[in-house]
C-alpha cells in the first residue's frame, strides 16, 4: 500500500507540474474591458493565426476592422468567420501584398480614399524561414514582408493617424530578435552572400523593434504611439515554409506553444488597454513591459536602419 501511495503521489505531482507549466505557457490575458465602437482598425495578416484572433476580439469590442492580406479568397472567408464570431458586420478585407511596395501603396490609397480616420494599425503579418527569394523590388523576401512593407505602410498612413489621434501603432515582433548575431548586417542587408533562413527571420524581427524605437522618436509631441511585442511561441502556420522546423516542433506544439487566441493577448493589450495610453517606444511580452536585446536598444543602429529603409521605399524625412 505504501508503494502504491508513493506512485499515486508521484503521478499527482507530475500532473500538477505539467498543469502549472501549461498554465504559465498560456500567459496572461488582456484585462481591459474597453469597448472601441467607432474606432477603425487595420490589421495586416488578419485572415489567419493571431491576426485573425486579434480581429475577432477588436470587432467584438465594436471596432470597424479592415484586414489586409494577399489572398482575397482566403481573406473573405476569414471576414465571414470574424463577423460570425464577433457579431459585428463591420469587418472588411482589402488586398495587400507586403512583398510588393506597389501593392502597399495601392492598399494605402484605398484607405486614404475611403476611411475618414484610422485609430489602430497592427503590423502583424509575417513570413518565417522561407527559401531564399528576391521580391519584385529586389529585396530579400523576409526583410521586405516583415519589415520594409510594414515600414512603408506605416509611414504612408501616419498623417491620417495623426489627424485621428490619439492613435496606436503595434508592431508584432518576436523573441527571435535575440537570437543569431543580434545585430543587423548592414553590409549585406539582402543576405545575398550567405543566406540562412532563420538568421534572416531574426534580423527582420530585430528590425521591427529598431523601427519602433526610431519611429517613437519621430512621433514625440504627437498623439500617435508605437510599441512592439513578442506574442509568445504560438501554434500557427508561420512555420509552413520550413519542413524541418515543423517536424521538430510538431510533437511539442500542444504543450509548449500558445493557441492563436492566447498569442493575440499582448497585441490586444497594446491596442486597447488604458495602461498603454501615451506609452511609446516600448517592447512587451505577456501583456507586460520587457527589455529587448542589447542590439534592439542601439539608437545608432535604429537610425541607420531608418535611413536605409527610407531610401529603399523612396521617401525622405520631410515627407512624413
State the Cα–Cα distance between residues 263 and 120, nearest whole angstrom: 18
**Contact by Cβ (8 Å): 308, 189:** yes
Q: In sequence order, what are the residues at sequence separation of 6 or more whose Cβ sits closer than 8 angstroms to the Cβ of residue 292? A: 177, 178, 209, 228, 283
Residue 155 has phi, psi (to 5 degrees) of: -65, -35
Kindly name the residue from 24, 132, 195, 201 that is annotated as catalytic.
201
CA distances from 254 to 53, 234, 250 (A): 18, 10, 8
139 three-state secondary structure: coil
Based on the residue annotation, tell me whether 24 is a catalytic residue of this protein.
no
Structure letter (DSSP) for residue 287: T
Owner of C-alpha cell 499582448 = 266
Q: Which of 231, 230, 220 is nearest to 278 (CA)?
A: 220
Burial 233-250 (b: 16+ CB within 10 A, else e): bbbbebbebbeebeeeee
Q: Which residues are catalytic?
A: 201
Amino acid at each position: 500500500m505504501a508503494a502504491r501511495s508513493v506512485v499515486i503521489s508521484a503521478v499527482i505531482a507530475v500532473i500538477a507540474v505539467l498543469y502549472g507549466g501549461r498554465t504559465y505557457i498560456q500567459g496572461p490575458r488582456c484585462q481591459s474591458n474597453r469597448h472601441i465602437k467607432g474606432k477603425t482598425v487595420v490589421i495586416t495578416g488578419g485572415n489567419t493565426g493571431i491576426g485573425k484572433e486579434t480581429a475577432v476580439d477588436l470587432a467584438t469590442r465594436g471596432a470597424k476592422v479592415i484586414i489586409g492580406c494577399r489572398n482575397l479568397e482566403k481573406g473573405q472567408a476569414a471576414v465571414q468567420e470574424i463577423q460570425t464570431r464577433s457579431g459585428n458586420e463591420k469587418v472588411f478585407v482589402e488586398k495587400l501584398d507586403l512583398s510588393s511596395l506597389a501593392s502597399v501603396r495601392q492598399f494605402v490609397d484605398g484607405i486614404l480614399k475611403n476611411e475618414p480616420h484610422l485609430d489602430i494599425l497592427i503590423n502583424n503579418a509575417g513570413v518565417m524561414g522561407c527559401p531564399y527569394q528576391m521580391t519584385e523590388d529586389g529585396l530579400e523576401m523576409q526583410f521586405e514582408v516583415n519589415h520594409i512593407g510594414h515600414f512603408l505602410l506605416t509611414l504612408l498612413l501616419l498623417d491620417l493617424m495623426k489627424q485621428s489621434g490619439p492613435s496606436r501603432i503595434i508592431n508584432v515582433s518576436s523573441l527571435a530578435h535575440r537570437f543569431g548575431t543580434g545585430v543587423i548586417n548592414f553590409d549585406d542587408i539582402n543576405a545575398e552572400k550567405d543566406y540562412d533562413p532563420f538568421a534572416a527571420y531574426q534580423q527582420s524581427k530585430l528590425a521591427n523593434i529598431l523601427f519602433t524605437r526610431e519611429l517613437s522618436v519621430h512621433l514625440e509631441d504627437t498623439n500617435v504611439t508605437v510599441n512592439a511585442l513578442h506574442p509568445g511561441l504560438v501554434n500557427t502556420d508561420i512555420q509552413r515554409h520550413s519542413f524541418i522546423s515543423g517536424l521538430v516542433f510538431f510533437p511539442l506544439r500542444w504543450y509548449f506553444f500558445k493557441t492563436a487566441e492566447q498569442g493575440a493577448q499582448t497585441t490586444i493589450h497594446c491596442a486597447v488597454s488604458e495602461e498603454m495610453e501615451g506609452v511609446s517606444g516600448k517592447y512587451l511580452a505577456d501583456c507586460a513591459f520587457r527589455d529587448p536585446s542589447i542590439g534592439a536598444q542601439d539608437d545608432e543602429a535604429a537610425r541607420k536602419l531608418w535611413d536605409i529603409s527610407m531610401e529603399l521605399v523612396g521617401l525622405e524625412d520631410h515627407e512624413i
